[in-house]
Every structure is written in C-alpha cells, then in structure tokens.
Amino acid sequence: MIHDLQAHYRDLLRQHGDSPQAVQYSSRETQERRFEKLIGIGELPGCSVLDFGCGTGQLQEYLSRQEIQVDYHGIDIVDEFLTLCRKKIPHGSFGTLDQFRGRQFDYVMVAGVFNNLIEDNRGFYQETLKTLFAMTRKGLSFNMMSAYVDYQDEGLFYEYPEQVFSFVKREVTPYVTLLNDYQVKPGVPPFDFTVYAYRGGQ
C-alpha cells in the first residue's frame, strides 16, 4: 500500500525523468495502448480536454503525435508535474482539483489514477468519478486494472469491471460503455479495462 502518493511520484520523476516510467507505465507502448482507448470516447478535435492525473502532460503529447488538436488542461497532486506541464504546454491551464472546481470541459480523461493500492480505493474512485462527471459537458473516460488476472501486484488495486459498470450506471449516468476486450501487451489476455461515461446517448 502506498501511503504518500506525492512522494512516490516525485521519486519516480527523479529516477526516470519526463518519461512513461515517471508516471508508472512499464513502457511507452503500453501507455499509448491505454491512451488509444481513452481517446476513443468521442470526436476530440477542437474540444476541451481535462486530464485528471496529468503527470507531465504525456496524453497531450500523444494527441499531438496523432495530429489531434485539443484545448488541453491538467490536474495533478504533484507540483513538479504541474511545473513541467506549464513549461511544455503554455497554452493550457494546470493545477489541483480545488483550483478547477466550477469549471467544465467537453471531455475528462483519467489514465492510471485508480491503480495504486491506497486505504480506500473503492471509495476514492467512486467519489472521484462523480466529481469529475460534473465537470464534463460530453463525457468521461477512465481506465482501471481488472481483477480477472492470474497475478496481482501487492502494491496495485484491481477491480471487477462489472462492479465499476454497475456503479457508473446507477450513480453517475445511464449512458455507459465498458471496454474489456483489448490487449495492453501483445499475447497477454486483457488485464486493463476502459469505461466511457456520457452525458447523453451516442
């Protein structure tokens, strides 16, 4: 269990610099496979996007490589991440959740935020999803680690996809899509899932 997430990510940034490993991805390939699914929520060009748990803005860099132009903004708990984002993406806005309260964006995206084992993972992701959905005009996409795996890392949190789907359907929005059929690593059965929560029917 991680008791100090800020210190954890500061350590990763010091060790790995501005890289996927600094935000706990094993490689750029696995990071981008997850990003690919997150951005599939809708037609993003010209939209405003809030990246919750933005790290060093690597989702924006991925979007740029795909030639998808968005109005990008980010929230994080690590000051060093936010400082890097402000330098790299001067046209965006970056800060803590409290600093963004009351603002709305077309899409909100959450990559990897719910994966670390903390004191109350279920309560954390449920309350966070309700808060973030209130900040979106069109939809919210997020990913999590699936409990349907043969091995579980003792420092990570795994959840049953159907439990997340049920919570979102009952407590957040009736317009919800669950993706649990993609491989993050070639040849490895799905151990990651993505959810789209929409304001209205698609």
pLDDT on residue 144: 96
pLDDT on residue 186: 78
Q: How many domains does the chain have?
A: 1
* Among 22-31, 41-50, 148-157, the least confident range: 22-31
- CATH of residue 76's domain is 3.40.50.150
pLDDT, tens digit, for every residue of 7-17? 888 888 898 88
pTM: 0.93
Helix-then-strand count for the chain, H and E? 7, 7
pLDDT, tens digit, for every residue of 61-106? 999 999 999 999 999 999 999 999 999 999 999 999 999 999 999 9
pLDDT at 1 over 60: no
143 Cβ neighbours under 8 A, 6+ residues apart:
34, 37, 38, 110, 111, 112, 114, 192, 193, 194, 195
Count, residues in the chain: 202
Of the chain, the end-to-end C-alpha distance in Å amounts to 38
User: How far apart are the C-alpha atoms of 120 and 97, rounded to whole Å?
Assistant: 19
Q: Are strands 105-110 and 48-52 parallel, antiparallel or unpaired?
A: parallel
Q: Which domain holds residue 55?
A: 5-198
pLDDT, tens digit, for every residue of 133-190? 999 999 999 999 999 988 888 889 999 999 999 999 999 999 999 999 988 877 777 7
User: How far apart are the C-alpha atoms of 104 and 106, rounded to whole Å?
Assistant: 7
b/e per residue 83-108 (b: at least 16 CB within 10 A):
ebbeeebeebbbeeeeebeeeebbbb
